[in-house]
Amino acid sequence: MKTDIKSLTLAELEDLAKELGLQKFRAKQIYEWLHRQCAKSFDEMTNLSKEQRAKLDELCEIKNCSIEKKLVSKLDGTKKYLFRLNDGEFIESVLMKYKYGYTVCVSSQVGCNMKCSFCASTIDGCVRNLAPSEILSQVYAITRDNRKEDRDFRVSHIVLMGMGEPLDNYENVLRFLELITNGDGLNIGARNISISTCGIVPKIYDLIEKHPQYTLSVSLHAPNDEIRDRIMPVNRKWNTEELLEACRVYTKQTSRRISFEYAMMKDINDTDECARELAKRLKGMLCHVNLIPANEVRENDYQRSNNERIKEFSKILEAGGITTTIRRSLGGDIDASCGQLRRQSKGGES
């Protein structure tokens, strides 16, 4: 089996270079080709000899994702990418433009096992975890594609909120984060990266031990166990009190504010009573609540709360001392919004 070279750290590349009889400085050249120039093949590494490139190609592989389909929103310019992986599996990623720069929403698994009832990503379950190189490749492929129009294009922020549960692919996600923040690569700041989780409590504690500066985004979506048990099966294993306690520890240990994601679903979790209960449970925590108008998924009959209901919910939270924002929905006309990413068929149909 060939070595997945894009998943190696610079130190590991130096060890590989030594094994291959290459000078140590070649490792940094290769690393920069992979992670700064976003090279897709060894042939692009023109400061290596043909013999050196051939040796690398013989023993190593560069895992890439090729653009199978790209949709551009007519509403806001958001771009959704359907990527084909080396083994023929499909994932989706999204590029969003904000005032502060470009954000890429990446997937961490092919599908998802969490079975949240309102989310399209989990409908067909999880086929497999993505390797660190495959998570990176989403950012790199989007970078290459957009540099065709703007050679200075740069991704400034990353959210691990695409297909999959990042903490269910914990080790590979940590390696991805190590590589994407490296100064010899794209050098994206840790504070510009958000890791989403639906509530795998033990992994939150594992993450705390790393003293991270990443933003932890918790998909809460309900103020209590009764509602959360119905829409998010993970809650039956780690309930809301266990999850919120882990979040309190996270904020105290890292001094980083938690972001609670809350998809507003009509007659499910959007009542005044829900808002008051949520405000009470979060009081005193370093956090903010991001209200998300729930997006339509054809396999379920959930309806989004109307704008007035969302605004009223927000007012109750703010009155309870909870900082609240209402997410601007991007890419809704191309199914690129929160909860709408999914695996695709071989024919590329969603």
Which residues are catalytic, by number? 92, 338
Place of tokens 């692919």: 169
Instruction: Note whether 201 and 208 are within 8 A (CB).
Output: no
**Partners of 4 in beta bridges:** 61
CA-to-CA separations, 240 to 212, 220, 277, in angstroms, rounded: 23, 8, 12
Place of tokens 């992670």: 35
CA-to-CA separations, 114 to 33, 167, 235, 305, in angstroms, rounded: 36, 11, 10, 23
DSSP letters along 51-85, please? HHHHHHHHHEE---EEEEEEEE-TTT--EEEEEEE
CA-to-CA separations, 44 to 17, 40, 119, 136, 170, in angstroms, rounded: 18, 7, 39, 18, 32
Helix axes 201-208, 170-180, angle to 10 degrees: 40
What is the distance, to the nearest Å, from the Cα of residue 40 to the centroid of all Cα atoms in its chain? 22
**Partners of 96 in beta bridges:** 103
Place of tokens 């009832």: 117
Rounded to whole angstroms, the Cα distance separating 217 from 206 reads: 16
30-53 burial string, b = 16+ CB within 10 Å, else e?
bbbbbbbebbbebeebeebeeebb
> In the structure encoding, which two tokens stand for residue 276, read together?
């008051």
Instruction: Note whether 175 and 7 are within 8 A (CB).
Output: yes
Instruction: Note whether 160 and 166 are within 8 A (CB).
Output: yes
Classified as helix, coil or strand, 183 is: coil
**Partners of 75 in beta bridges:** none
DSSP state of 203: H
